[in-house]
């Protein structure tokens, strides 16, 4: 086995070597080796393999860490601001304090950098420069982690293993290796004892925020406990490499037909909760590729935009961290995505609202944008809708003043989230992740190809997705689902209403005169309402078909649906009028 001696060589930042063969983006996994537990399992003993639970680390147990945090805050002149006796600290001092405090605060600072609605101007920009690279782990630690998790000596698992890592970050570092069948792989190895460290720091952070809200009640408007809770869940997902392995399989399956894309597959026999082995990506980081091939960047960027929008709106999944270190370009020009530890998912309702929101932003329709945004955020009673609409108008006015080629979707979403936070809206975690993904993508595009108008590709893809949204197959599916829902409502609502009214009548309220008649009237009204909704759905569906630019039989079908819906409503109205006359005579 060839193992190089660990020296003071610098950590490699890019993978430049081509493997002996190139694997296509097929959904099937490579042959399973004889040894090694399946993804998501580990052969660690219970005394070593227990995952620390942040919920079990109380504020009392976090006191020593709190003392360290306060010492770092004092060293960086943050204490006066924390105690309310001084002005704001300089953004640079806050960044340096986060870097000194380590993993959790580095990651939390990166989260805050994506939340300009929570921070004063200047802080977000400073926190964006937080780096999460650490010195490489000693090779003995890497070897022990792999052997403990995979249950076999390193020499039996790999024919060769590079001691010098390709990259080293806060959570893991990546090594190049070769399997016994000759395949080159990249092995991602987690740093030890992270669970306990993260649990302790999350408890300390939660205690600090609770103390701050008690001293400064105005902090409660920032909803920081919710931010920390979502941050803690995100870190938990990032620490579980089996979650990342499942995400890779999901993306490979969903994007198997996407042209010009290759996602390295998981070697399941050599992967676990703390070790992830992937096919080796024989490409260059996109920023290195841009320097060598600037003429190819428009094609590459357009491919990235199409990939981003297709995964969001068609598959309901997206890569939440598309920075240059996670996007490679293969020798044959295809894109290669890496690091699926941070991904997001959107259900169909969220995707529908997001599509409406994007259309409203492009049109500058503040009222439509407000409604679509509130559908995504599930706003409660405390939301100031009038104030939100006013802030939306101001935000969209600024966007409309900007040249179309300079419009930033990420900044637009940031403005909407800031408007929402000021008016009592709790931004959903999925929207925060999506905004972060757009901000990272647009920042990368601006650095690699500042003269390229990627919004042209964005508009083309949105038009394609809109046409797909109104495709006959999709309309048929939605109409069938609507008909089933209406049928269920019509059949179940009268019985449900009668049961509810019977319980009221038999409860503490006693018997109310005419209660049965009220229940019967309610049942009839619900049935009529369901019929009216069904006919209205036909009219709306027909109108949507008429609005599509495809013409032809789409318009014929649309007209037929409108006619059917209108006739149905007229017939229902005549019947209701006759029933009313009969009841009036009685």
Instruction: Dump the DSSP string for 263-318.
Output: -PPB-GGG--SSEEEEE---SEEHHHHHHH-GGGHHHHHHHHHHHHHHIIIIISEE
321 is an active site residue: yes
Report how far apart, in Å, the C-alpha atoms of 538 and of each of 159, 471, 482, 486, 559 are. Answer: 65, 16, 10, 12, 10
Query: Residues 357, 438: one domain?
Result: yes
Q: What is the pLDDT of residues 253-263, one digit of tens each?
A: 999 888 889 99
| Within-domain flag for 262 | no
Average pLDDT (117-139) is: 77
pLDDT higher than 60, residue 433? yes
User: Please, which pLDDT band fits residue 132 given cuts at 50, 70 and 90?
Assistant: low
Catalytic residue among 117, 149, 240, 321: 321
For residue 329, the model assigns a pLDDT of: 95
Average pLDDT (317-329) is: 90
Query: Residues 209, 81: one domain?
Result: yes
- The dihedral formed by the CA atoms of 481, 487, 489 and 493, expressed in degrees to the nearest 10: -170
| Within-domain flag for 321 | yes
Asked if 188 and 172 touch (Cβ cutoff 8 Å), the reply is yes
Query: Residues 579, 501: one domain?
Result: yes
Structurally, how many domains does the chain consist of?
3
Query: Residues 310, 407: one domain?
Result: yes
Cβ atoms within 10 Å of 240's Cβ, excluding its own: 18
Structural domain ending residue among the three candidates 211, 238, 265 = 238
For residue 156, the model assigns a pLDDT of: 95
Query: Residues 356, 435: one domain?
Result: yes
Answer left, alpha or beta for residue 474, where phi above 0 means left and psi between -120 and 50 means alpha: alpha
Higher-confidence position of 48 and 298: 298
User: Please, which pLDDT band fits residue 376 given cuts at 50, 70 and 90?
Assistant: confident
Q: What is the pLDDT of residues 61-93, one digit of tens each?
A: 677 888 888 888 888 888 776 666 666 778 888
How remote is the C-alpha of 61 from its chain's centroid? Answer: 32
Structural domain ending residue among the three candidates 433, 468, 503 = 468
Residue among 272, 224, 217 at smallest CA distance from 117:
224
Q: d(Cα 51, Cα 42) in Å, to the nearest integer?
A: 12
| Within-domain flag for 268 | no
| Within-domain flag for 210 | yes
Least confident of 74-83, 331-340, 486-495: 486-495
Name the average pLDDT for the chain.
75
Query: Residues 446, 509: one domain?
Result: no
CA geometry: angle 66, 54, 115, nearest 5 deg: 75
Residue 538, SS3 per DSSP: helix
**How many residues belong to the chain?**
586
| Within-domain flag for 521 | yes
For residue 337, the model assigns a pLDDT of: 93
Domain, as residue range, for 217: 52-134+200-238
Q: d(Cα 170, Cα 199) in Å, to the nearest integer?
A: 15
Higher-confidence position of 14 and 549: 549
Query: Residues 97, 217: one domain?
Result: yes
Asked if 339 and 171 touch (Cβ cutoff 8 Å), the reply is no
| Within-domain flag for 143 | no
Question: What global pTM score does this model have?
Answer: 0.66
For residue 187, the model assigns a pLDDT of: 97
User: Please, which pLDDT band fits residue 41 given cuts at 50, 70 and 90?
Assistant: very low
Query: Residues 392, 502: one domain?
Result: no
Burial of 359 (0-12, 13-18, 19+ CB in 10 A): middle
| Within-domain flag for 248 | no
Higher-confidence position of 528 and 516: 528
pLDDT higher than 50, residue 47? no
User: Please, which pLDDT band fits residue 377 given cuts at 50, 70 and 90?
Assistant: confident
Query: Residues 317, 296: one domain?
Result: yes
Q: What is the pLDDT of residues 214-237, one digit of tens each?
A: 877 777 767 788 788 888 888 888
Percent of the chain scoring above 90 in pLDDT: 19
Average pLDDT (454-477) is: 65
Query: Residues 224, 292: one domain?
Result: no
Structural domain ending residue among the three candidates 437, 468, 499 = 468
For residue 577, the model assigns a pLDDT of: 53
Query: Residues 424, 559: one domain?
Result: no
For residue 477, the model assigns a pLDDT of: 61
Residue among 306, 326, 330, 309 at smallest CA distance from 318:
309
Query: Residues 490, 575: one domain?
Result: yes
| Within-domain flag for 271 | no
259-284 burial, b if ≥16 CB within 10 A, otherwise e? ebbbbbbbbbbbbbbbbbbbbbbbbb
Asked if 335 and 329 touch (Cβ cutoff 8 Å), the reply is yes
């Amino acid at each position: 086995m060839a193992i190089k001696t660990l020296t003071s060589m610098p950590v490699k930042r890019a993978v430049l070597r081509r493997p002996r063969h190139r694997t296509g983006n097929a959904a099937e996994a490579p042959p399973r080796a004889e040894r090694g537990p399946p993804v998501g399992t580990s052969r660690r003993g219970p005394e070593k393999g227990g995952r620390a639970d942040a919920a079990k680390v109380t504020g009392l147990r976090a006191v020593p860490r709190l003392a360290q945090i306060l010492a770092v805050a004092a060293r960086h002149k943050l204490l006066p601001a924390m105690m309310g006796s001084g002005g704001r600290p300089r953004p640079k001092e806050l960044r340096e304090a986060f870097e000194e405090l380590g993993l959790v605060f580095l990651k939390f600072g990166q989260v805050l950098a994506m939340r300009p609605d929570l921070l004063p101007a200047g802080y977000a920009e400073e926190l964006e420069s937080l780096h999460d690279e650490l010195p490489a782990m000693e090779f003995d630690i890497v070897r022990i982690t792999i052997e403990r998790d995979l249950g076999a000596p390193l020499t039996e698992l790999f024919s060769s293993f590079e001691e010098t890592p390709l990259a080293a970050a806060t959570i893991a570092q990546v090594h190049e290796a070769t399997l016994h069948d000759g395949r080159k792989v990249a092995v991602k190895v987690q740093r030890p004892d992270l669970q306990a460290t993260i649990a302790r720091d999350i408890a300390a952070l939660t205690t600090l925020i609770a103390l701050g809200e008690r001293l400064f009640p105005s902090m409660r408007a920032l909803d920081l406990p919710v931010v920390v809770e979502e941050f803690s869940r995100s870190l938990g997902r990032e620490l579980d490499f089996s979650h990342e392995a499942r995400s890779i399989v999901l993306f490979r399956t969903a994007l198997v037909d996407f042209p010009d894309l290759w996602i390295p597959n998981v070697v399941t026999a050599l992967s676990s909760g703390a070790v992830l082995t992937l096919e080796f990506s024989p490409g260059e980081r996109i920023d290195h590729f841009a320097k060598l091939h600037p003429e190819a960047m428009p094609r590459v960027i357009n491919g990235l935009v199409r990939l981003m929008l297709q995964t969001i709106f068609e598959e309901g999944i997206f890569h939440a961290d598309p920075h240059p270190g996670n996007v490679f370009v293969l020798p044959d020009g295809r894109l290669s995505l890496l690091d699926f530890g941070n991904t997001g998912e959107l259900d169909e309702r969220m995707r529908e609202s997001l599509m409406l929101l994007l259309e409203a932003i492009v049109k500058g329709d503040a009222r439509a944008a407000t409604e679509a945004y509130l559908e995504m955020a599930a706003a409660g009673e405390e939301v100031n809708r009038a104030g939100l609409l006013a802030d939306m108008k101001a935000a969209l006015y600024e966007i409309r003043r900007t040249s179309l080629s300079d419009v930033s979707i990420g900044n637009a979403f940031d403005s909407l989230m800031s408007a929402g936070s000021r008016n009592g809206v709790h931004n959903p975690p999925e929207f925060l992740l999506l905004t972060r993904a757009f901000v990272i993508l647009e920042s990368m595009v601006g650095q690699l190809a500042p003269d390229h108008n990627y919004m042209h590709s964005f508009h083309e893809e949105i038009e394609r997705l809109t046409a797909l949204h109104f495709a006959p197959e999709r309309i048929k599916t939605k109409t069938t689902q609507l008909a089933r829902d209406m049928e269920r409502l019509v059949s179940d609502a009268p019985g449900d209403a009668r049961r509810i009214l019977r319980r009221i009548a038999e409860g503490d309220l006693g018997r109310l005169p005419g209660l049965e008649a009220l229940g019967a009237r309610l049942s009839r009204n619900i049935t009529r309402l369901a019929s009216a909704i069904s006919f209205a759905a036909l009219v709306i569906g027909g109108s949507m078909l008429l609005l599509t630019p495809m013409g032809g039989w789409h318009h014929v079908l649309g007209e037929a649906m409108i006619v059917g819906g209108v006739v149905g409503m007229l017939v229902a109205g005549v019947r209701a009028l006759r029933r009313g006359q009969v009841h009036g005579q009685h």
